[in-house]
Structure 1
Amino acid sequence: MKQLYDQRISCPHCGHHIFVSLDASEGDQDYYEDCAACCNPIHLNMHIDYAINKLELRVDADDEQVF
């Protein structure tokens, strides 16, 4: 599996497209990156499935509310 990836994602707040660099050598990751356009935080959750050699990236606004 490749270790470094560049991925284009859309900001869940404003829809602006940004590029993020993903480093698969560190395993699963959960982190925040700020949007360059609206400055809101973007929650990125990266999971590596070694069984099928696949990297999955979940992008959300992390503003889900529980009532």
Structure 2
Amino acid sequence: MIEHFFTCPYCWETISMLIDVSIKNQEYIDDCEVCCNPIKVQAVSNSLELTGFEAKSME
């Protein structure tokens, strides 16, 4: 697991999420810890590090 920091697409605050890099391709929805809006998260890893990350609003 690694902690990844990014900007919320709703409130523009910097937040973090724990990403399990042992899973190569992930897509899920998680709420912003600041504004509680749902964020669509896509993460790609190579089992050692995060190689791609995208966080989008659900709108």
TM-score tier by shorter-chain length is 0.7 to 0.9
Aligned length: 58
Q: List, as ranges, runs of 4+ consecutive aligned residues in structure 1 with deviation greater than 4 Å.
A: none
Structure 1 unmatched runs, 5+: none
Greater per-residue helix proportion? 1
What are the residue-to-residue correspondences of 1:1-67 with 2, within 5 Å?
4-48=1-45, 55-63=51-59
Task: Tell me the TM-score normalised to structure 1 length.
Answer: 0.72
Give the fraction of aligned pairs with identical amino acids, expressed as a percent. Answer: 26
Asked which structure has the greater CA Rg, the reply is: 1
Greater per-residue strand proportion? 2
Higher RCO (CA 8 Å, separation ≥ 6 residues): 2
Structure 2 unmatched runs, 5+: none
What is the Cα-based RMSD across aligned positions, in Å? 1.9
